[in-house]
């Protein structure tokens, strides 16, 4: 009996990582009905991390009231994690920065790095603390804001003051007026909680590779906004250095999620870890790989970017340690994918059977069928030697 492990990422705009794993599972069993198949869907620390970790640990998705990046009331979610293999009393939680303050919640004309805030993410962290958790994983990415976490710390009790001792706003555009940060009223539970920031980017807060310069344009920032916000963010970083004693301006990862990495590091004492590593450790990926004979992974597109912290690369690296073959399935394969063969990847297969409109290929039913069919064909080929 052959043991298969299915550990893919999501296929963006089409299927969740769990759906991809189940499609692989179905195809494998058609080719090998006696196979033992384990599904362990993954994420790289960005969107989908909350659901992936909740599913892998028999956790619970919790719904709470919060606010989006424009401070409009919404319903948002965080996850209480159980233990792999069975639910227990939850002591860990996962908060995604894309959940309450995500760019996807705004219409294109609403995007603005000067008016948006990370306040909603702070609300989700507070809601998790209310549940008594002692470890919070914050998945960074997908945010609409560029406020260096000002909104987040405000939601947790910090006061950002102007030169006259008055509270300033909590959007990115308000940072120019910041003169002091008062943390005396911040939630006392923070000191007794461990925070981990999961990110697949290492951008600093300021500079040509910083949060504003790199990610500001996709959040609605024009050229003048970018120049002004770069100055405002640098100003705020200096105040953090002076009042909190943490020099965050050039720290790797501080620029993640519009600078939310800054707030997590300076005010919550978080450690920034590669997103894939956080997920892999939480779901015990290495143990699952060690027990498998063949490992399936995949994502929507495999190309030269895949080697930089993406799920297929991470899975291949773990599998190489145990000398296990790794097969990756992808919606599309781009330039640079062959570089993965030197890092543990055995084979890469595109799932598209022929030319079709992109919207048809992304349709969940078709995507699932294509993944399942490709997994089946791979296993039939592998079984030729048996």
Cα–Cα distance for residue pair 281/326, rounded to 1 Å: 19
25 plus 133 within the same structural domain: no
Instruction: Point out the domain boundary residue: 276, 305, 325.
Output: 276
Report pTM: 0.85
- Region of 272 on the Ramachandran plot (φ > 0 left; ψ -120 to 50 alpha; else beta): beta
pLDDT at residue 87 in the model? 44
281 within some domain: no
Taking only the tens place, the pLDDT of each residue in 306-340 is 888 899 999 999 999 999 999 999 999 999 899 89
Sheet containing strand 73-81, strands side by side: 60-67, 73-81, 92-96, 135-139, 194-199, 271-274
The chain-wide mean pLDDT, for the chain, equals 92
Please tell me the total count of domains within the chain: 2
Structural domain containing residue 176:
49-276
- Asked if residue 95 is part of any domain, the answer here is yes
- The tens digit of pLDDT for each residue in 179-225 reads 999 999 999 999 999 999 998 788 899 999 999 999 999 999 999 99
Do 264 and 290 lie in a common domain?
no
Higher pLDDT, 375 or 342: 375
| Residues 112, 239 share a domain | yes
């Amino acid at each position: 009996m052959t043991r298969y492990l299915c550990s893919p990422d999501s296929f963006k705009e089409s299927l969740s990582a769990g759906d991809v794993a189940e499609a692989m599972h179905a195809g494998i069993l058609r080719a090998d009905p006696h196979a033992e198949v384990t599904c362990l869907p993954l994420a790289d620390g960005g969107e989908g991390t909350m659901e992936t970790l909740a599913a892998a640990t028999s956790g619970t998705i919790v719904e709470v009231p919060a606010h989006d990046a424009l401070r409009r009331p919404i319903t948002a979610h965080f996850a209480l994690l159980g233990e792999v293999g069975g639910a227990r009393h939850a002591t860990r939680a996962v908060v995604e920065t894309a959940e309450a303050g995500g760019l996807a919640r705004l219409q294109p004309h609403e995007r603005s790095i000067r008016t948006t805030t990370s306040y909603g993410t702070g609300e989700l962290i507070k809601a998790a603390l209310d549940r008594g958790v002692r470890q919070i994983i914050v998945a960074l990415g997908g945010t609409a804001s560029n406020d260096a976490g000002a909104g987040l710390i405000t939601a947790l009790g910090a006061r950002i003051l102007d030169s006259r001792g008055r509270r300033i706003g909590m959007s990115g555009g308000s940072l120019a007026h910041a003169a002091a940060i008062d943390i005396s009223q911040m939630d006392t539970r923070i000191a007794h909680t461990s925070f981990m920031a999961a990110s697949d980017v290492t951008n600093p807060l300021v500079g040509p590779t910083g949060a504003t310069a790199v990610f500001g344009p996709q959040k609605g920032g024009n050229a003048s906004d970018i120049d002004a916000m770069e100055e405002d963010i640098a100003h705020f970083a200096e105040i953090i250095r002076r009042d909190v004693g943490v020099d965050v301006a050039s720290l790797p990862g501080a620029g993640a999620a519009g600078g939310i990495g800054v707030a997590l590091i300076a005010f919550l004492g978080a450690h920034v870890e590669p997103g894939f590593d956080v997920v892999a450790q939480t779901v015990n990926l290495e143990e699952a790989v060690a027990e498998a004979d063949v490992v399936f992974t995949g994502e929507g597109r495999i190309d030269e970017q895949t080697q930089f912290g993406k799920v297929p690369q991470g899975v291949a690296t773990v599998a190489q340690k145990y000398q296990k073959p790794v097969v990756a399935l992808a919606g599309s394969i781009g330039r640079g994918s062959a570089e993965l063969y030197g890092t543990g990847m055995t084979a890469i297969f595109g799932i598209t059977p022929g030319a079709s409109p992109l919207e048809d290929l992304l349709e969940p039913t078709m995507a699932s069928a294509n993944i399942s069919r490709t997994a089946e064909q791979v296993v039939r080929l592998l079984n030729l030697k048996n």
